[in-house]
Structure 1
Amino acid sequence: MPSRRPDAPAHGLAAPFDPAARPAPLERIAPGGVLDRWAAADRSAHAPQIVAVPDATGQTWAGAALVTARPQTAYVKIVDAVGDVPAAVEAVVAHARDRGLAQVKWEGWTVGAADAAALGFAPMGAPRGQAQDAVRPRTGYVRWLGSDGAAEPPYYRQSTNFTCGAVVALIAQVQAGQVPRASLDRPAELALWRGATNFPACEPVGLGVAVRRTWPSSPVTVFLDVDRPVLLDSYSGDEREWRAVLQRASRADAAQAGVPLDPRRLSLPGIRSAIARGDRVLLLVSLEAMQGFDVPHWVLCHGAVPGALVIEDPWTNDATGDTWVDAHLLPVSDSALDAMSSMEQDRYRGAVGIGTPEGSEPPRRP
């Protein structure tokens, strides 16, 4: 990897990326295979930009990087850097610092661990249970800005469109040491979903009960600030009613299992406090802000950095170039997460808090 020239400007130039109108200086330094990958997905929803560093003449580019990010998040992702890679990456980091972001990530298409480490990036653990293919990188790297980051749980992408609640509960318990990493797989995902589902979604009370029944030593609290069935807005008539019956049964199950239902709204400072004492919080959000469609979805809140909470999102959108590198160790500002987790018309919040079993050590950052 070439070293950065002393006269290369740290901030470089930033401009929107249009794969149909690629700048001539980019064509000169980027391999054709890289440009083909950049154009293979419709990245427009993730604000794709080229961050480029001019060469000594100022007439062309020495290096450039394609960067993207999910909307309403506190990171930026390097898809690839080409040409003078160190200069391009330094320019991306400078832009991220200027914007007050919590981290920069880097997909491992064209960079290895040693070169990434030389530029301040640490490897992220490879995802479990994910088929390797042309749209999902095998490796990824992260550089935290202004903090030491958060302890890293394993990443696992849900294998269906409806098992997000089960997956984030499993990830939380792996991080807590209650489940071996090797058992984070599809049979475990579907088994926990089967015990928690309201067909096909997992509502907060049913999910909390399933977690408690699966791991009786783990303290569980359900936070739900409405006294009605939830996640039923898309149903009507009998389809809505029988699911409501199941949710009322979940409340009876919670009482029998000793799972507290806290009717107060769980605040973002409350989530930070829970994380600080070693708890994990399964949080119900809408995907509208990050993915563009208003679908209820479970994420895991497991870390906190200045200005943002760190989540695991078990779902990614291949069509937009969204990969596990985006969804893993994902920082979201408190205000953005507050908005994402205000659900349906009455803006309730649903969450499941999982405490550390007595005698266990809370997860620590390596």
Structure 2
Amino acid sequence: MTSTYAVLPYDATAWPPALRRIARPEVLERWGAVDRSPHAPRLVTVAEGDSDGWSAAALVTARPGTAYVKIVDAVGDVPAAVDAVLSYADEQRLAQITWEGWTVSAEDAAAAGFAPLRLPLTHGREEAADEPAGPGSGYVRWTAGEGIAEPPPYYRQSTHFTCGAVTALLARAQAGAVPRHALDREAELTLWRDATNFPACEPVGLGVAVRRRWPAASVEVFLDTDEPVLLDHLSGSEREWRAVLQRASRSDARRSGVPVDGRRLSLTGLREAIGRRQRVLLLVSLATMQGFDVPHWVLCHGVVPGAVVVEDPWFNAAAGETWVDAHLLPVPDASLDAMSLLGEERVRGAVLIGPG
């Protein structure tokens, strides 16, 4: 890999002349079309001999609190640019490099050691007409091992509140209990309707809805509080009637045989569950990754050295994210531990689903 490279600040208002000489105008126009600042954009550059010019450059970004870096585009001498990013990722001890397929061919990506990512299930579907446009391909390279052998499909939630239902459907699709072609908006909204605490899905209600939908699957809920959750932003009657529904969910859990464990699921326990081929629906705050403290469900389905691999059914197109950021996303154990403690009481909610 390239040993000499530079990492420079990214400023879409003042492209360096060295960059303008090797990047097509339409590429720079796309780079500057959104505010990428929330995700630490930077230029990884390779000098051209002893001159002030560059032989290659790549725009890279990443969500805060994660263990990957994404190549938006590589320009100039593309193999040299990618080698520089690989060296950068190695020095940063990152688990993964992804590459958006705006300008790279599948052949060139493969030559650089990248494997293709399966397109999102919503790609090209009529119900996804309002979904932010993204690249028509994406690629991944893991820095240690082969990554995830049988990854789940990627599906972007179609509302701001159906993340719990989508993660459950993705878990069952990965287990083969839901045909991939059947994971659509109707399936998403139908499961959400059965699980919702209006509009969020709290852990016990989500676990009960999963058991109703797939009676043969083993389901277990971990929630280290007896109090209602996800209601800190509400007060008075708006809080009270949702608390009633959460108590009803606990009664439903007892009747349907869904165990609710009052202990906090540790990161060690989460990794062990994945090792048993269980899938973990985990509540996290988006404060670290996106900058706003909103509870959100992700699917934890794989482990790599130092990180847990998750599916995030939402991405922030306004910050330059695409489905490539949210699919097979590695999150370091310490980051995941911190971001999955929610609310004033710092509780953790998780739903474990077995492969049955």
TM interval, short-chain normalised? over 0.9
Output the CA distance in 2 between the equivalents of 1:273 and 1:24.
51
**Residue 195 (structure 1) aligned with residue 194 (structure 2):** yes
Structure 2 match to 1:54: 47
Cα distance change of structure 1 residues 355 and 11 upon mapping to structure 2, 3 Å threshold: farther
Output the CA distance in 1 between the equivalents of 2:355 and 2:4.
44
Q: Which moved more, 1:125-134 or 1:340-349?
A: 125-134
Structure 2 match to 1:364: none
Contact 1:299 1:312 in 2 (8 A): yes
Output the CA distance in 2 between the equivalents of 1:188 and 1:129.
13
**Residue 45 (structure 1) aligned with residue 38 (structure 2):** yes
Cα distance change of structure 1 residues 250 and 109 upon mapping to structure 2, 3 Å threshold: same
Q: Which runs of 5+ in 1 are unaligned?
A: 1-7, 358-366
Secondary structure at 2:153's aligned position in 1?
Answer: coil
Q: Deviations over 1:293-322 (max 9, x none)?
A: 000000000000000000000001110001
1:113-152 correspondence to structure 2 within 5 Å? 113-130=106-123, 131=128, 135-150=133-148, 151-152=150-151
Output the CA distance in 2 between the equivalents of 1:138 and 1:295.
29
Contact 1:10 1:87 in 2 (8 A): no
Contact 2:2 2:87 in 1 (8 A): no
Q: Deviations over 1:222-254 (max 9, x none)?
A: 000000100001111000000000000000000
Choose the corresponding residue for 1:33, options 9, 26, 51: 26
Q: CA deviation at 1:134?
A: 7.2
Cα distance change of structure 1 residues 238 and 342 upon mapping to structure 2, 3 Å threshold: same
Q: CA deviation at 1:58?
A: 3.4
Output the CA distance in 1 between the equivalents of 2:287 and 2:199.
19
Structure 1 match to 2:297: 298
**TM-score, with length taken from structure 1:** 0.94
Secondary structure at 1:29's aligned position in 2?
Answer: coil
Contact 1:135 1:321 in 2 (8 A): no
Output the CA distance in 2 between the equivalents of 1:34 and 1:121.
21
Structure 2 match to 1:166: 165
**TM-score, with length taken from structure 2:** 0.97
Output the CA distance in 2 between the equivalents of 1:88 and 1:208.
46
Contact 2:46 2:57 in 1 (8 A): yes
Q: Which runs of 5+ in 2 are unaligned?
A: none
Q: CA deviation at 1:112?
A: 1.4
Q: CA deviation at 1:84?
A: 0.2
The residue type paired with residue 142 of structure 1 is V
Choose the corresponding residue for 2:8, options 12, 15, 24: 15
Structure 2 match to 1:327: 326
Q: Deviations over 1:135-164 (max 9, x none)?
A: 411210000001211131100000000000
Structure 2 match to 1:344: 343
Secondary structure at 2:230's aligned position in 1?
Answer: coil
The residue type paired with residue 76 of structure 2 is G
Output the CA distance in 2 between the equivalents of 1:82 and 1:182.
36
Output the CA distance in 1 between the equivalents of 2:132 and 2:186.
25
Q: CA deviation at 1:11?
A: 4.1
**Residue 110 (structure 1) aligned with residue 103 (structure 2):** yes
Q: Identity over the aligned pairs, expressed in percent?
A: 65
Q: Which moved more, 1:122-131 or 1:333-342?
A: 122-131
Output the CA distance in 2 between the equivalents of 1:99 and 1:176.
33
Output the CA distance in 2 between the equivalents of 1:249 and 1:153.
32
Q: CA deviation at 1:59?
A: 2.1
The residue type paired with residue 52 of structure 1 is T
Cα distance change of structure 1 residues 350 and 134 upon mapping to structure 2, 3 Å threshold: closer
Contact 2:12 2:32 in 1 (8 A): yes
Output the CA distance in 2 between the equivalents of 1:45 and 1:134.
18
Output the CA distance in 2 between the equivalents of 1:261 and 1:26.
56
Output the CA distance in 2 between the equivalents of 1:112 and 1:9.
21
Contact 1:75 1:101 in 2 (8 A): yes
Output the CA distance in 1 between the equivalents of 2:115 and 2:185.
28
Contact 2:2 2:83 in 1 (8 A): no
Output the CA distance in 2 between the equivalents of 1:152 and 1:137.
19
Contact 2:223 2:264 in 1 (8 A): yes
